[in-house]
Amino acid sequence: MEIITQGNGWIKVCGIGDFSVFKTFDCGQCFRFDSVPDDRYEHRVDGVALGKAVSFAEKDGALYIRCTEEEYHSLWKSYLCLDTDYDKINENIISCLPEGDRAHMTLAVDTGKGIRILRQDSWEALCSFIISQNNNIPRIKKIIRAMSEKYGDDIGGAYSFPTAQALFAAGEDEIFALRTGFRAKYIFDAAKKVATGELDLKEVASKESYDEAAEMLMSISGVGPKVAACTLLFGFGRTDAFPVDVWIKKVIEKRFKSGLDHSLFGSSAGIAQQYLFYYERYVGD
């Protein structure tokens, strides 16, 4: 891996293997980034993560980030999961399945290759996936943007995601005023439990057992198995999580006639889930 300073606040990272800015930020795992037209790159996204405004772009197999080299090593390399051997993971995802199911999984892996599971802030992921219930991505983004602008910190033209303490202090009625609908009471309950220490997210992160970690999250009103799974996958790095939504149900019913035992994927279940989701959403017929 080679890092080259580009000037104007950008660095270029070469030798990162299969990594796609477009696929990673287009697969529904985060809601703070938007595509930005820029003739210098094949694809660029701007947004906020880990309390910082940042831009990611790609061209000719190289990654470009608007940051310092120090920030890359301390934040973005881990955030983008560039410290993980996805080639080995992809091989294991295919080989762990019965031979009759490998062809379908190979197609999904080939289609989704380049996706990395972002290591997002746990509180932001929890709140975001509560908001995502029975919702669409444009509306989710709009709610999160309004919430951040009102209760987050100004970080120079952008806003950080509000803390649990800030949303707890705002109260359920103010959260509802952000057009969160029925989710307002769930967001408030999550904020209350986290802000008061009734739910310790560090303790959730420390659990070796997936079921125990999920059970802690499901103590929040409105958080069921799917929201808990999404939160653990995208906010806690629990790649053994396998969220099941309509897309996943659809691809399993269509492609795996005898069903799919996702436990076979082991610690790569969440990565396999993203490949299946991306494949069915964009290629499945």
- Catalytic positions, please? 226
Alpha helix ranges (H) inside 132-283: 137-151, 164-170, 172-175, 184-196, 201-206, 210-217, 225-235, 246-255, 269-282
In which residue are the tokens 């070796």 written?
208
- The torsion angles phi and psi of 2, rounded to 5 degrees, stand at -125, 135
Residues 240/269, Cβ–Cβ less than 8 Å? yes
Residues 33/47, Cβ–Cβ less than 8 Å? yes
Take residue 36 and report the two structure tokens written for it.
Answer: 């930005």
With b meaning 16 or more CB within 10 Å and e meaning fewer, what string describes 134-172? Answer: ebeeeebbebbbebbebbbeeeeebbbbbbbebbbebeb
**Partner residues linked to 5 by β-bridges:** 11
Q: Distance from CA of residue 7 to its chain's centroid?
A: 29
Instruction: Return the C-alpha torsion angle 34, 16, 72, 45, nearest 10.
Output: -10
